[in-house]
Structure 1
Amino acid sequence: MDVVRQALEGRTTKEYAGLALLAFAAYVVANIIYNLYFHPLAKFPGPRAAAASRWWKAYVEVYKGESIVDRLFELHAEYGDVVRITPDELHFSDPKMYNEIYNTRSRWDKDGEMYAPFGGNSTMFTALRYHDAKKRRDLTASLFSRKAVLSLQGSIQEGLDELCDIISARSAAGKTTDLFRAFRCLNLDNVTSFCFGWSLHTVRAPDFRAPPLEEVQNSHGGYQFWKHLMLFRAVLLPVLRLRFFLLWQLKLTGYYDVIQKLKEQVDTLVARPDELEAAPHPIIFHSLIDPAHGAKLSAQELMEEANMFIVAGIGTTSNATGAGVIGVLSNPSTYDKLKTELRTAWPRLDEKPTVEVFESLPYLKAVCKEALRLSHGITSPMLRIVPPQGATLAERFVPGGTQVGVSHLFVHLNPTLFPDPHAFRPERWLEPGAESLDTWLVAFSKGPRSCLGINLGWCELYLNIANLFRRFDLKLEGRAKAFLDGPRARASGDWKDCFLPCFEGPDMLIHTTPVAD
């Protein structure tokens, strides 16, 4: 110690800074050498820069603004079925690995970095540990059961009726309709009505440009920045709680109004749980607040959980609806088959069939499945942490603590499972033995952390596609948004992987003509 003290005596602040910088540089070099040659994953193939530092992935996603899933297609073509893309992360291209990683047996934790930009790990969706997520999931699971969803399909149909009336009015005025925005508005109205008992009626926004959704869409690209810049996140998130974080980080003044409306509802129900009796139907707060014993979560936790239901509920179904519309309109034969089936099952427009009827229509069901396949749901690999004892994946031992994942695109676009995978071809779901393909439709994920709202999503998708194609004759105007077709999307520049797809291409404008019985 005396030697160290003597060496430091008389040094200036500048010299201390130089020593600190030198020590940091030595640490970085030593860490790179370890990652390249001595790390437990050192023998797995991949770019040397990716193996050396996590900054390679940040460079691709943040600095270059590229989609890591596009890079992954290139990397797997070069390195094989498993690729190391950070010092601690492996990605697998074999669809069989999807069922190995995301299944009811593999109750592995989520990766903290990937889910932190959503505001911490205090919700069912963002909870990292399986058991924490299960406790939250069990509270509200009954609300999203098939029986519960079917009992409320009337309110979903009412929202669709309002949207169809607005589309008809636009048609009469000679206006096209941006179906991407229209169905995002409808999804937001559905999720608030279903979960909280009130609708925002965003479908009434001029040209469907509802401020909350416009702001979320415009700010979507910031996901990668907040995922990788952990220092900023670590400093700011504890200080800026949910509503202030949203307002400051994303400048979501319109969405802030939604948060305020939620806050008023939460504050009212926490103070007077008996107000739940005034709800038009069971809502999530019936499960999260007990009139006899009060809230099961804190007011802040209730707010964050409610907000996450909104965030999770406005993307997948609207994207799938868009993919279905583009796919059907791109093929006259597909369009004619769907229209004929719908006219047969729904002869009078004023006598609307139930979801159960639509589910029984083979071609409509095939169209919905193909729409989900080509919209993918979440596009980023949903990273899971291998447990401490390690696991054998793709016939290789993967040590504990490794982040592993398979992007949905590597399942949905696998040419062995889905020949001509970029083509929208509903017939593939009707061919002999097609039932086996259901295993590989993973838009809602699989396993114990799969999407809680899968029944609601299917209900919305059936009703969306059926109502749109039965009640209107449709025609695309020009080039619509390119939906998720793997590496080809890189050339089109229409979307970027930001957990969900972030669309940057032209608007999805549709000419609509109302039909008579």
Structure 2
Amino acid sequence: MSNSWYNRRQAGSRGLKTLLEAHARLGPIIRLGPQEVSVVSEEGLRKIYAAGLDKSSWYQKTFFLYGVQNLVSTLDHSTHAKNRRIVAGLYNKSYLQRCKNLASLSDHIVCSRLLPRLDFYSLNANTVNVMRLFACIGVDMITGHIFGAAYSTDLLADEAKGGEYIETCASGTEFKENYFEHIYRELLSTRGTQEELRVSPSAAETMYNGLASQRSAGYVADREIFAESASEMLDHIIATQETNTIIWTYICYRLSLHPQLQDRLRLELRTLEPRITNEITNLPSPASLEKLPLLDAIVQETLRLHAANPARMPRVAPTGGMTLHGYDIPAGTIVSTNAYCLHRNPDVFPEPLEWRPERWMPHRPEEKLDGPDLPRMKKWLWAFGSGARNCIGQHFAIQTIKLVVAAIYTTHTTLIVNDEGIEQSDSYNSGPIGGKLILRFEHLKDTPEC
């Protein structure tokens, strides 16, 4: 028995759909090969990820940057836990919501870069390549958080420069390593010279200093600490660029097909204080955005149906083996689950292939209907993984996703354009503010598993 048949399906972009069909037919646990099983269940989530099983060697083959490991590519649980503690506080929800540096950065990127760009597009009836636009926003946001505003990228302000960066990214990891290495080196060269001016260390400095403090003097060369911290920072940049870009794009795509839902969202967004306008310079707080139920439902449903990382997350069965759904799983067996199958369980998410944000909103008491099982849905929502090795940047991602969506849909409406460049709907009510953004979704056909 081998897993060559499944590997061929996976190479042909049918891997996740094949898994979904197999689990629907055979149940929550299936065998993919001599030493690999796939599990899609709450038991699998608990025994594999909440239990903190070590990762498989696939991560080291895929996520090494600058030739060294980072949190994603670290295989054993104890080393990961030790290194994660260094930067975990910088991605904590409460820290992000009250971080003055991030608030100032967000105000500048949205108010001084994004909104003027959107106005230009709407006034000139230019078609927007949304994936490129959102990739630029994502990189500017995360590099500002990691390196500080003075060393962040400015891809959004220069459309040609931003487009060149995004296109060149497709050439591989080496370009991104070279691109950010000089930024990081310049930042570290100023360490200790600007303490009076710095409100708090950047994430990059925190990682560098944290790694250095773990080693005794002379134990490891400075260049090795640089490589380890640079690997970590670049991994955060790549992950944010990809995750935020995909979710922003699909939110716009879905909302462009639902004009009435756009109007409902806009009414909700207009309750924010201060209200987002083209003249605003200070945005509403992240805490106020978090309280908006429709905005949250739209984000959660898009994370469910269009998870940025829908693939298998392989772990290794521990010494002594384990039991899953009554089966004895030998030590060393690869065990995994995936967001794609978890998010399409009809018992948890009725009509799972439909994009329905209302599933995340409890029914009002006067409707006298059984509301959705929100606690169970949240347990099965696996867009950022679960357990001690879940995505460290999930709160940063959700906060920035909501902020940008709020800015766009308070000030503009969106229209989808088909392959012939024809508007799909003319029933939009933009209200007294903003104009129409004509969006091009040409790259969605390249993401078949999403």
Q: TM-score range by the shorter chain?
A: 0.7 to 0.9
Matched, 1:200 2:153: yes
Q: Secondary structure at the match of 1:392?
A: strand
Q: Distance in 2 between matches of 1:147 and 1:93?
A: 32
Q: Distance in 2 between matches of 1:192 and 1:276?
A: 20
The one-letter amino acid of 2:390's match is S
Q: Distance in 1 between matches of 2:36 and 2:213?
A: 43
Residue in structure 2 matched with residue 321 of structure 1 by the alignment: 248
Q: Distance in 2 between matches of 1:61 and 1:440?
A: 23
Residue in structure 2 matched with residue 110 of structure 1 by the alignment: 55
The one-letter amino acid of 1:124's match is L
Residue in structure 2 matched with residue 438 of structure 1 by the alignment: 378
> Kindly tell me: are residues 308 and 335 of structure 1, through their superposed partners in 2, closer, same or farther at Cα, counting changes over 3 Å?
same
State the Cα distance separating 1:403 from its structure 2 match.
0.7
Q: Distance in 2 between matches of 1:123 and 1:331?
A: 41
Is the 8 Å Cα contact of residues 66 and 496 (structure 1) preserved in structure 2? yes
> Kindly tell me: are residues 493 and 166 of structure 1, through their superposed partners in 2, closer, same or farther at Cα, counting changes over 3 Å?
closer
CA root-mean-square deviation: 2.8
Structure number with greater Rg is 1
Relative contact order, higher structure (CA 8 A, sep 6+): 2
Is the 8 Å Cα contact of residues 390 and 400 (structure 1) preserved in structure 2? yes
The one-letter amino acid of 1:329's match is S
Is the 8 Å Cα contact of residues 182 and 208 (structure 1) preserved in structure 2? no
The one-letter amino acid of 1:183's match is F
Matched, 1:283 2:283: no
> Kindly tell me: are residues 114 and 142 of structure 1, through their superposed partners in 2, closer, same or farther at Cα, counting changes over 3 Å?
closer
Matched, 1:352 2:296: no
Q: Distance in 1 between matches of 2:40 and 2:441?
A: 26
Residue in structure 2 matched with residue 411 of structure 1 by the alignment: 342
Matched, 1:211 2:164: yes
The one-letter amino acid of 2:70's match is T
State the Cα distance separating 1:321 from its structure 2 match.
1.6
Q: Secondary structure at the match of 1:91?
A: strand
State the Cα distance separating 1:405 from its structure 2 match.
0.8
Residue in structure 1 matched with residue 132 of structure 2 by the alignment: 181
Matched, 1:260 2:187: no
State the Cα distance separating 1:369 from its structure 2 match.
1.1
How many residue pairs get matched? 401
The one-letter amino acid of 1:213's match is I
Residue in structure 2 matched with residue 456 of structure 1 by the alignment: 396
Residue in structure 2 matched with residue 233 of structure 1 by the alignment: none
Q: Which runs of 5+ in 1 are unaligned?
A: 1-35, 37-48, 220-245, 484-491, 502-517
Q: Distance in 2 between matches of 1:68 and 1:159?
A: 38
Is the 8 Å Cα contact of residues 310 and 338 (structure 2) preserved in structure 1? yes
Q: Output the TM-score relative to the length of structure 1.
A: 0.71
Identity %: 23
Is the 8 Å Cα contact of residues 59 and 72 (structure 2) preserved in structure 1? no
Q: Distance in 1 between matches of 2:269 and 2:236?
A: 32
State the Cα distance separating 1:401 from its structure 2 match.
0.8
State the Cα distance separating 1:434 from its structure 2 match.
4.2
Q: Secondary structure at the match of 1:69?
A: helix
The one-letter amino acid of 2:413's match is D
Is the 8 Å Cα contact of residues 153 and 459 (structure 1) preserved in structure 2? no
Is the 8 Å Cα contact of residues 255 and 414 (structure 2) preserved in structure 1? no
Residue in structure 1 matched with residue 427 of structure 2 by the alignment: none
State the Cα distance separating 1:471 from its structure 2 match.
1.1
Is the 8 Å Cα contact of residues 289 and 295 (structure 1) preserved in structure 2? no
Matched, 1:341 2:268: yes
Q: Distance in 2 between matches of 1:438 and 1:80?
A: 21
Q: Distance in 2 between matches of 1:184 and 1:411?
A: 27
User: Deviation per CA, 1:414-436, whole angstroms, max 9, x where unpaired?
Assistant: 11111111222111111335431
Q: Distance in 2 between matches of 1:348 and 1:382?
A: 39
Q: Output the TM-score relative to the length of structure 2.
A: 0.81
